Structure 1
């Protein structure tokens, strides 16, 4: 198994988690905030997808799916196109309440496909490349990609927990 195989597997598990978290939920359930100001499933999935899109496009030197494929226009959110949810207010989170699962999954799947296309071609020699000098130590490609997988796993897990709570309330 190569490093590329591990990355493909890791991102593939995120896809399974995201699809599982959204399966069979209503549009209303996707926007539920269990304590009134908590993140909703819709926001969590949008956010993890935006971060993956932003970070992978940056290290790959390509345009984000969000803008290149018109997803920003389809979502019609009142945010700057560069927004990916970091630092969002409670009111910002509420903007995702009406987003249907099909739109979230369409965008996620497009980002996933672009991610897999990129990471499947990586070699071990690519991973030590410095991609971000704003940190000490500077961030390598390998660390950045694992960071994205970790962030996605945490947020998809949060979405799965919320899904479980919502299903118990039915």
Structure 2
């Protein structure tokens, strides 16, 4: 198995978990916060999708799905166009509201398809390409992709946990 196949498998698992986390939930459940400063399922899924969209697009020289396919306007969150949720305050988390889980999964699926397309064209040596020189050591494409994969898995796990809390309440 090639490294790109492992990455494709990993990102595909995120897609499965995103769908499982939001399937069948209405707006009240999507926006419920188990504590006053906790993240909602809607925010967690939006954020993990924005991170993947932003980082993959940047690493591969692609347009962000959020901006290029009009999701920024469809979501209409009132946040800056390139906001990915990093460092959001509790008040900003509360602003991320969606009409349905379908909107979240449509956005995630579009980002997922772009991610798979980029990964499918990878050669092993591409993973060594430096994509961010602001760090010491500079970040390679391989490290960036594993970082996104890790971050996304953590956030979708958090969304699943919040869903479980809601179902047991």
For this structure pair, what is the TM-score category when the shorter chain's length is used for normalisation?
over 0.9
1:110-129 mapped onto 2 (5 Å cutoff): 110-129=110-129
Instruction: Tell me the residue number matched to 1:89.
Output: 89
RMSD: 0.8
Q: Deviations over 1:22-68 (max 9, x none)?
A: 11212110000111221000000000000000000001101100000
SS in 2 for 1:131: strand
SS in 1 for 2:11: helix
Instruction: Tell me the residue number matched to 2:41.
Output: 41
Instruction: Tell me the residue number matched to 1:7.
Output: 7
SS in 1 for 2:128: coil
May I ask how many residue pairs the two structures share in their alignment? 169
1:19-168 mapped onto 2 (5 Å cutoff): 19-168=19-168
Q: Deviations over 1:83-109 (max 9, x none)?
A: 000011111111123442011111000
Aligned partners of 2:168 and 2:55: how far apart in 1?
35
Structure 1: unaligned runs, 5 residues or longer: none
Following superposition, the deviation at residue 133 of structure 1 comes to 0.6
C-alpha contact (below 8 Å) 1:31/1:97 kept by paired residues: yes
Instruction: Provide runs of 4+ in structure 1 moved above 6 Å.
Output: none
Give the structure-2-normalised TM-score: 0.98
C-alpha contact (below 8 Å) 1:45/1:155 kept by paired residues: yes
Give the structure-1-normalised TM-score: 0.97
C-alpha contact (below 8 Å) 2:51/2:84 kept by paired residues: yes
SS in 1 for 2:105: helix
C-alpha contact (below 8 Å) 1:28/1:98 kept by paired residues: no
Instruction: Tell me the residue number matched to 1:16.
Output: 16
Aligned partners of 1:72 and 1:5: how far apart in 2?
31
